Amino acid sequence: MPAVGLLELGAHAAQVSSVAPERDWNAARDYVATQAKREDLVTFAPAWADPIGRQRFGPDIATIEREGLPDESRFPRAFEVAIRDAHAPVVRGWRRTDERRFGGVTVRTWENPAPAPVIDDLVSAIGPDRLHVSVGDRDCPFVHGSPQSGGLGFGPAVPGDRFTCSGGGFVGVSVVADLDYVARRCIYAPPAGGSLRLRFAGVRFGRSLRGHHALYVEAERTKQGAPVTISFSVGSTAIGSVVHRDGEGWKPFEFDTSLLAGTQEDLTADITSSGDRRMYCFEAATR
Amino acid sequence: MKATLASQAVTALRRGFSGPVGWRDHVVGCAIALAYLAWLLSTAPELGFPRDEGFYFQAATQYAAWWRMLLERGSDALQRGAIDSAWGFNHEHPALMKTLFGISEYLLHQKWHLLSEASTAFRLPGMTFAAAAVWTTYVFGARAWNRRTGLSAAILFALMPRVFFHAHLACFDVPITAMWILCVYVHWRAQAGRSIGWALAVGIVYGLALETKHNAWLIPVALVPHALFVHRRAIARGLAAGRLSLPTSLVSMAIVGPLVFYALWPYLWSDTFARVQWYVEFHLNHEYYNIEFLGKNYFGPPSPKSYLPVMVLATVPAVTLLLFGVGTVDRAIVGLRRLDAWARRLLRRVAGGASRPTATDGDVPPRDPLETDLLLFLSLAVAVGPFFLPATPIFGGTKHWMPAYPILALIAGRGFDIVASAMRAALPRLDARRWAMAEGALWTSVVAAPLAVTAHSFPFGLSAYVPLVGGTAGGADLGLNRQFWGFTSQNAAEEYLNTNAPRGAPVFIHDTTWEAWGRMQQEGRVRGDLRAVGAPGEATMALVQHELHMNEVDYSIWVALGTDAPAYIVEHDGVPIVSVYQRK
């Protein structure tokens, strides 16, 4: 019994004194800053350390694009910044090429065995230059307003830069908590009036159109809402359609665009749903 | 010379405490309780105000004002309008604690200026109940087994990190824990004889428990079968004679308890049936709040059956649990031996032989007329039982089954006594002085870790986990709840906002209530010029108290403030507790 008591005391002392100090994080940050390219992923492990990673590494390295990544497939390389020997699940199956220790912080470099480079990212196309949004025959103008946000249950922040539609609809880039409460940077496009049409101008096509869609976690976790359908087309040619049902979370989809590979066309996305509070968000990119 | 004096002092102390348990033990229990209360009082200012406290502070003020009105203008106060106006607020919980919070604040802070912070005065009754639970645990253990059992039980109970955290609050979870163990203890004493005093005490204490929190509804589930079992022969004899002879304590609990409950809650004085019905239905159909467990956010039924065992393992010091295991095995063996002896006697009786013990029965443990083991088992089982049901919400973390902890500690105390006795048997040649040193070392080895873990956990008692699961970081690795109630805004203010926020900055206070924020400002914990706002978009500074389901608020802040990099993070052992964002 005394041994157990003393063991517990020793374990407590070891645990409270094993926190990675700020200087270790800073050393790791300086290393990653010199190594990471724009197209690389920087991720933190374990997941609960992510706020610390964002604070120590700053928004230039821990960008919202990296933090709210749709999936890992677009990144050729990843820098995994870890404490407590944790691993980020996104690099599972990748090849480790380097590992450096900075005191209590470890930086591992991973190579993606099969990266799928992005040709055109629709999330980056949100703005009046490349996107036209409409509800029925009414256009939704682009505005520079103030973001709208709230506390728990409000839903994703409505970005200041957005297309606003009559009847309360809008389209803009936000960050949504998916069903697992993971950050997803995506095109927030709730079909408030039942439908929304987004026409992206001059999209450069590759062999596929790959994306994900979801609803804000509290809108889909009770599995009581109507499904949301997104359909992609070029001119009168349908590329594909996919339905998101409550409870499916951050759901991937992929359509074959081999026939359009190498071309530049206007791409239309029609979003429809018959339900209320369909706080829908999607991302898609040509590959 | 010093050693001789110490040895003489120990010997004198032992002589003084070698007799039957009595008033001296209450002095000891009171001394431990006062020491605990002093510790709680000294640390209280470090702890911000949880959401619930904000509501209870407000209710307490209203209730105390009504009592003053009653003393000053009795007939006016007894008008239904005056009662409903004062007591209608927060009527989902009974009135005892909020009344005490309010009276304490009025007398000790407003009137007599004994406590400089109103919040400490509001919290004092809760802390006092925590201290009373420690006292009761000591006396119960000392009477049930011996003083070593009582003392170790009291200390091990006090040194549970979650108990220590909740003991600071003007809430009901520790008070109902205190009332639960007091109710069990008084009931236990009442079974010993025909004393009408103890029987009446059971009714009064049970009424006060009912008036403390609705957990008290379950107490009879433990006490009634225990009393019926203790008095089974008398009941059987009565039935044979054609009369129903119930234990007086149960009658008192059934009659006096509800009367006390009714008398102390003026809100029930009108529309009694409808209001009691509403109160019961509110808790039977309580909404579910979000809480993380093993990396998953639970927001409705079914609740995971493993929640309670995992959370107990993760929040109660391992040495306490191990001692509880030793104590449980000991009591189980005793129980099984008694059961075996009873079965043998029964078989002999059936076979026409004598029913009295014989030499073949072996060493039968003495019969306990109070059936203490059964009472403790029932009380523990009833306190934790609902948390194995899929419909029971789990959002309260460990606080909702805290009434089980003094009983867990009592059995752990029994375990400690067995270990100490075994050590004594293993070291028969030690003289008194060396034995005192050896026992002192045993005490130190058992108490040191719970003391260190508990002291270190504060004020992040909801974020901290015990070394068995890796401490606070281990709990985060496992995906266990980080916190709830938004009280850590105070830490964000003390560590960052108070020195770095621009003058008059609007601050998104996230899960903190307006009342809690305002009171933290009134008491100088948060800078008075900082303006609380309810949306990140309206803020220059934004807080997010980290919980899994609060990630959505975190992401909302990224968009609203245009950055995903916190300016500062309040951490506990390297684990994020509160992120502070600043608009670029």
CA distance A72 to chain B (A): 19
Which pLDDT score is estimated for B220?
A: 98
d(CA A183, CA B257): 52
SS3 content of chain B, % helix, strand, coil (to 5): 65, 5, 30
CATH number for the domain harbouring residue A131:
2.60.120
Q: Which of A49, A68, A181 faces B297 most closely, judged by CB atoms?
A: A181
Yes or no, beta carbons of A2 and B452 under 8 Å apart: no
Residues 6+ apart with CB under 8 A from A142: A127, A128, A131, A133, A161, A162, A163
DSSP string, A16-63: HT-PPPHHHHHHHHHHHHHH--TTSEEEEESGGGHHHHHHHH-TTTS-
* C-beta separation of A196 from A189 below 8 A: yes
d(CA B174, CA B106): 22
Residues A106 and A129 in one domain: no
Residues A218 and A99 in one domain: no
Which pLDDT score is estimated for B126?
A: 98
d(CA B508, CA B495): 17
d(CA B573, CA B469): 14
Residues A195 and A278 in one domain: yes
Where a domain ends, among A94, A111, A128?
Answer: A111
Strand partners, B291: B298
Q: Does B514 contact A at CB distance below 8 Å?
A: no
- B431 or A200: which carries more pLDDT confidence? A200
d(CA B206, CA B199): 11
Strands A195-204 vs A183-188: parallel, antiparallel or unpaired: unpaired
Q: Is the pLDDT of residue B14 over 70?
A: no
pLDDT digits (tens, 9 = 90+) for B127-166: 999 999 999 999 999 999 999 999 999 999 999 999 999 9
Residue B220 CB coordination number (10 Å): 18
Reduce the DSSP state of residue B572 to 3 states and report it: strand
Q: Which of B300, B477, B555 faces A46 most closely, judged by CB atoms?
A: B477
Residues of A in contact with B326 (CB under 8 A): 1
d(CA A57, CA A243): 38
Mean pLDDT by 10 residues, chain A (287 residues): 93 97 98 97 98 98 97 97 96 97 98 96 96 94 95 96 92 98 98 92 98 97 96 96 98 98 97 93 98
pLDDT digits (tens, 9 = 90+) for B416-429: 999 999 999 998 88
pLDDT digits (tens, 9 = 90+) for B284-315: 999 899 999 999 999 999 999 999 999 999 99
Residues A157 and A198 in one domain: yes
CA distance A209 to chain B (A): 26
Residues 6+ apart with CB under 8 A from B2: none
Q: Closest Cα to residue B311, out of B430, B147, B160, B485?
A: B160
DSSP string, B514-525: HHHHHHHHHTTS
Q: Does B548 contact A at CB distance below 8 Å?
A: yes
Q: Does B547 contact A at CB distance below 8 Å?
A: no
Q: Is the pLDDT of residue B1 over 70?
A: no
d(CA A94, CA A92): 6
CA distance B1 to chain A (A): 30
Domain residues for the domain of A272 are 120-286
Q: How confident is the model at residue B584 (pLDDT cuts 50, 70, 90)?
A: confident
Yes or no, beta carbons of A6 and B448 under 8 Å apart: yes
Number of domains in chain A: 2
pLDDT digits (tens, 9 = 90+) for B499-511: 999 999 999 999 9
Q: Which of B477, B573, B579 faces A51 most closely, judged by CB atoms?
A: B579
Yes or no, beta carbons of B535 and A84 under 8 Å apart: no
- A1 or B485: which carries more pLDDT confidence? B485
Residues A168 and A45 in one domain: no
The ipTM estimated for the assembled molecules is 0.96
Residues A104 and A153 in one domain: no
What's B467's DSSP letter? G
Report CA Rg, chain B. 26
Residues 6+ apart with CB under 8 A from A123: A173, A185, A186, A187, A283, A284, A285
Where a domain ends, among A111, A132, A159?
Answer: A111
Residues A151 and A186 in one domain: yes
pLDDT digits (tens, 9 = 90+) for A197-228: 999 999 999 999 999 999 999 999 999 999 99
Residues A26 and A93 in one domain: yes
Residues of A in contact with B563 (CB under 8 A): 59
pTM: 0.94
Residues of A in contact with B468 (CB under 8 A): 8, 11
Tokens encoding A61: 């390295």
Q: Where are the domains of chain B?
A: 489-582
Q: Which of B442, B510, B537 faces A2 most closely, judged by CB atoms?
A: B442
Yes or no, beta carbons of B576 and A1 under 8 Å apart: no
Where a domain ends, among A111, A143, A178?
Answer: A111
